[in-house]
Chains A and B, each alone.
Chain A
Amino acid sequence: MQLELENFTKCFDGTPVIENLNLTVGDGEMLALLGPSGCGKSTTLFAIAGIYRADGGRILFGDRDMSDLPSQRRNVGVVFQNYALYPHMTVAENIAFPLTVGKKRPPAAEVDRKVREIAELIHIEELLARRPAQLSGGQQQRVALARAIVRRPDVLLFDEPLANLDAKLRLEMRSEIRRIQLETGITAILVTHDQVEAMSMCDRVAIMDKGKILQTASPTQMYRAPVNKFVAGFLGNPPIVFMDGVVAADGMFQMGQGFTLPLPAHVRGLPLGQVITLGLRPEHFGGAGAGMASGRVSFVEPQGRETLFDVDVAPGVTLRSIQPMREDVRLGDTVNWAVDVENMLAFDANGDRL
């Protein structure tokens, strides 16, 4: 089912935290709402769920307007960050709960059949008789997911579903959630502040800051062509390095500290002296490219498959480089590495990409 937010507005105590937000999630698509804490992504999620009432605009499921319907009548499944399992019920009873609250209760055999069906899909058949307190974090997460989809919701919402898991489980549940979403084909929204989660699990990412959606795009598109500095800085780990400077003669970029680089081709026509910010991702420094930068290695972080270097190229200017593991460069060495100039991102004084 397609989900659409139209000029959605939400106020708390009279102050608007989200104003005129527009968002469309296609049928069967999984979209990530990515942003720092307090950017309004959870507020948006809870408004779709019906926990918060929208103060303006419309929320459409398909072509039905849901804005004024209570949560109970929206048919939305939610997976909460702390799972919110019902501690006094067994796993089977937890999953069956959404089926047994309606006006006419389906026969016990049918409830049981549906619970088993979902349990099988989510791989928790052997846990059905246990209570939440007897489950590990990952298992609780699975139960919460089972309970959210047992009613075949129109929309499935995840509120930071992996935040309470340890690193290894997080990796496992990441692909599990995606697998189940793809198998059921339920339109889903994932709220997260973790760019890796957002990019790896979702078809599209909507990045939010201060109550506004800055950009909606596929993960690769957004990584390659961020609309502004904020988006560029939010995506990528290790993060992009920004350099503030001006356009100099001969298609060069000049920083106050004296450091210079050739400008990428598409911004060479800018007037001399214009203030500009270049963004250089670590994978574009230390490989091949038209520019050169030399400096002293001030930090080395071996990560196994790759090694991360910090290189001081001018006073106060540190570039980051990530390269396949190498041990020939040590802390304190002076290096002269290529900068892939054409892949650098350029931003104007307002932070918008040029």
Chain B
Amino acid sequence: MMTRNFSTIPFIIVITLISMPLMVMYGFLILDTFTDAPAGELWPDRFTLKHWRFLYDFSEVGNVWVATFNSLTLAVSMAVIVLSVSSTAAYAISRLHLPFRRFFLAGILVMHAFPAVTLLIGTFFVLNFSGLYNTMIGVILVKASLLLPFGIWIMKGFYDTVPWEIEMAGVQDGASRFTVWRRLILPQVKPGLVALGVFAFLDGWGEYLLPSILAPGSDMQVLSIFLNDLIAAERVGYDFNLFKSVGVFYTLPVVVLFVIFQNRLMNIFGGGTKG
């Protein structure tokens, strides 16, 4: 049991007060998806499931499952690409005698600090030229490469903490460098891989800007765009409760992932970056 030098109760009260508006908003967000309130009233007066009709009735808003599938494709591809490239590139930068190693490191830091939006026009030209404009592959490639500097930097931090001796011992035991990496080093950086994977997935799942600009075609619609279209200007009469329901549907995977991986996600800012 830790001894306390001060009471935590005032802090809890202050923190609760500050986060109150957020909690109220979330509360109403969930509440509104299952209820109807009379016009102009705050409190709902009846329970209903009709706002969740969009899950099977596509006549009103279009097929939400296609958008979900697209979002999932984007998010999973992001995770796969970022994980495979970061885990190998970071190892090389951390452990191998690369030519231009310092240059790569500096480049990664610069890229990491670069706002993605400023690259949009250039990216558009590249995609247009290569025929990847308005395709999901194009969006995935651009989005993943924008996250790679962060991923490589984080993974390098994790690799740097693995003692050299483990690698030397593995080589002495007769294993090839690749075997050493796969069987001895990768397991040591697993927390980093899990955190980075979840991070990449969430980044892809929540992305709005790149799909909307680089793949505006309707067959490439992801959930964020699907959601945005619900309140697009040309629609008559906003259905806020429907909008909130889709919003909750959109958030659910994120919440689930956070619940499962919350401790591991913290790793990315704790253990990995030192050294």
Contacts and interface: CB of A to CB of B under 8 A. Distances in A.
A96 B176 CA distance: 16
B172 A76 contact: yes
A86 B166 contact: yes
A85 B168 CA distance: 11
B188 A51 contact: no
Interface in A34-70: 49-51, 70
A139 B78 CA distance: 44
B165 A82 contact: yes
A78 interface: yes
Contact of B173 (A51, A73, A82, A101): A101
B108 interface: no
Nearest to A78: B172
A212 to B, nearest CB: 26
B127 interface: no
B163 A71 contact: no
B168 to A, nearest CB: 6
Given A78-B168, A80-B165, A80-B169, A86 B175 contact: no
B187 interface: yes
A101 B174 contact: yes
B171 A84 contact: no
B178 to A, nearest CB: 11
B184 interface: yes
Contacts of B170: 86, 97
Contact of B163 (A51, A78, A82, A88): A82
B176 A87 contact: no
A84 B174 contact: no
Nearest to A80: B165
B189 to A, nearest CB: 11
Nearest to B167: A84
Given A50-B171, A71-B172, A85-B169, 20 more contacts: A51-B172, A71-B171, A72-B171, A72-B174, A78-B172, A80-B165, A80-B168, A82-B163, A84-B168, A84-B169, A86-B169, A87-B188, A88-B188, A97-B173, A97-B175, A98-B173, A101-B175, A102-B174, A148-B172, A151-B174
Interface of A: 49-51, 70-73, 75-78, 80-88, 97-98, 101-102, 147-148, 151
